[in-house]
Amino acid sequence: MYVGHVVYPLVLASTNIVMGLGLYYLAEPVLAALLVMIGILVMLASAGGTLKQHLPVHSDQS
């Protein structure tokens, strides 16, 4: 189940980026830029979520 939580957003983001680049070269640069930006944001959010789960939590409370 964990693999699905990591792989699915990366596949979705990669698909957005590839479709955006394809559209950019074929016809519509505005929509293409939007798809590429969404793909990059999804990748960053996925990486941030993964890091948040795996990094230790430091507490200043004693």
Please report the pLDDT score of residue 1 as a whole number. 59
Where along the chain do its domains lie?
Answer: 7-49
Per-residue tens of pLDDT for the chain, all 62 residues? 566 777 777 787 888 788 888 887 887 777 778 888 888 888 888 878 777 777 776 666 65
pTM for the full model?
A: 0.64
DSSP output for 1-62:
-HHHHHHHHHHHHHHHHHHHHHHHHHS-HHHHHHHHHHHHHHHHHHHHHHHHHHSPPP----
